[in-house]
Structure formats: structure tokens, C-alpha cells
Amino acid sequence: MKITDALLTLGASHGRTGKAINPKGIVVHYVANPGSSAMSNRNYFEKGSNGRGVSSHYIVGLQGEVIRCIPETEVAMHAGAAYSSAYLEQAKINNSIYYGIETCHPNADGKFSEITNLSLTELCADMCLRHGFDPHKRLFTHNEVTGKLCPLYFVKNPEAWAKFKDDVQNIISRTTLPSGYVNLCVDNKIYELETVNISGRFYSTLDHAAKILGGGRMVSIRDLLEANDYTVTWNEALQRITAVKNNSKIFSQMDAYF
């Protein structure tokens, strides 16, 4: 997936305050301007959005192109207004904790084209991986955090939104770790694992790992953990695996030397 930087000018009128973000999830929007391009929506932000000073971190276009408007280290102004009293308190903090993705669409119903939807799915998966987000818990429609009917098609077709999150999770599940050496901390015991990438999977020959699953074959670290009821996620930016069992984090250390 190619991401093109077209960063907004720093300044509140452009929707770029420069304030640091404390990311807790991702909010998906639709542009509500049928047929408009990603760059035209970016330029709308740059020109001040008719005095509103709004923005988003990314815009996904009609041809699947992805434009970055705000760095992921900064706040974007995309979800700060509540559309009913039920969202007033939540709206006050949305921009400080949520990444925003605006998405282009060809028609007024807000349904994304196949190529746009694919790029949006890949972008969300990439961000979830890098930030350690569970897409079923940390991926939201604009409607879910402010009450606005956005993105319209997903709001009116909740089964499509559920499938979208499943698709994001499927990409995450196929993502594998690289070869190399890692220090692995499991249940307060530290093991040095020599690993190798075989057919896109991350494997170790460590004897105790093979014994846990049975037999002397090479086993995947993810398979090993999941076979013992761990839920596993991978943070690309931090090069760290996290595994959780019985609602308690029991494994969160990975020092990689590549």
C-alpha cells in the first residue's frame, strides 16, 4: 500500500494544531461529497474548510490512493462535535485519542468502491498492527463516537461494518514476524529464540516450544501461544508482541536483533 504525504500547513485554520495525540483507536469517516477526489478533500482542509478548521490523518481516494494529511504523532480535527446530547462528553476528547480516516465514495449512498474499500482495509490493518489495536474494539465509525450518520453506508448497513472489521482482522492475522533472534518473556521466564521465516511464518526450533505442542517439528511462535489460549497481537512500530490470557496481559516483551 502506497501512502503519499500531502501534509497540511501547521495552523489551526488548516485543521493542524500540532498537538500531540495519545492514540486509543481509529475513526472511519466518509467525505459526504460524492465523486470528489482524495486530493480535493485534502485541499478543502488546507483552505480552512469554510472556516471550520477540520482535518483527518488520512484520506482514501476513489482509485484506492491514500494521502496522509496529518502525522500520526499529532491530533487531527475530525470527531470533536457531538450530534446528540449522549455524545457531549465523549466528543470533548475524541480528537486527542482517535486517528481519523476520511474515505471518498462515488455515489450519495456513501458505499465505497471495491478498490477504495480494499485500501481502507489495508490502511486500518496497518495502523492496528503498528499501534497494537484490536480492530473489533478500537475501530469505530464516526457515528459510534459522535452520533453523526457517518460513514453513511456502514451506519445504514451494520453487517457491512462488521464484515469490514473482520476483513481488517484477517489481514492482521496473516501478518508475520521476520527472521532473527528475539528474547521472549513468557510467564516471567526469558528465552532466547533463534527464528527463521518459512513460507511467510515465524518459526523457532526451541525444544521446549516443540514439546508444548508435541513432537519435534518446528513450530510457529504465534501457534505456540495461541495453542495455550493466548490472544496475540504484533506492534510493528515497537517491534513487540503482546499476548493476553484470561483478560490479563502475561507476555509483552520482545527485543529483536535484525
Judge if 189 and 152 occupy the same domain: no
> Pick from 156, 174, 192: which residue ends a domain?
174
Q: How much is the mean pLDDT over the chain?
A: 83
pLDDT band at 181 (very low <50, low <70, confident <90, very high): low
Q: Indicate whether 11 and 93 sit together in one domain.
A: yes
Q: Please, what is the end-to-end C-alpha distance for the chain in angstroms?
A: 23
Give per-residue pLDDT as tens, 223-237: 667 767 777 777 666
Residue 157, judged by CB atoms within 10 A of its CB (0-12, 13-18, 19+), counts as middle
Amino acid identity at 163:
K
- How many structural domains comprise the chain? 2
Residues 85 and 201 in one domain: no
Q: Which of 22-26, 93-97, 200-204, 252-256 has the lowest mean pLDDT?
A: 252-256
pLDDT digits (tens, 9 = 90+) for 111-168: 999 999 999 999 999 999 888 889 999 999 999 999 999 999 999 999 999 999 999 9
Q: Give 208's pLDDT tier (boundaries 50, 70, 90).
A: very low
Res 175: pLDDT: 63
What's the CA gap between 238 and 88, in Å, rounded?
34
In this predicted structure, the answer to whether residue 210 has a pLDDT above a threshold of 60 is no
**Domain-terminating residue out of 155, 174, 193:** 174
For residue 23, the enclosing domain spans: 3-174
Same domain flag for 58 and 155: yes
User: Are 57 and 106 members of one domain?
Assistant: yes
Last residue of a domain, one of 174, 194, 209: 174
CATH number of the structural domain spanning residue 140: 3.40.80.10
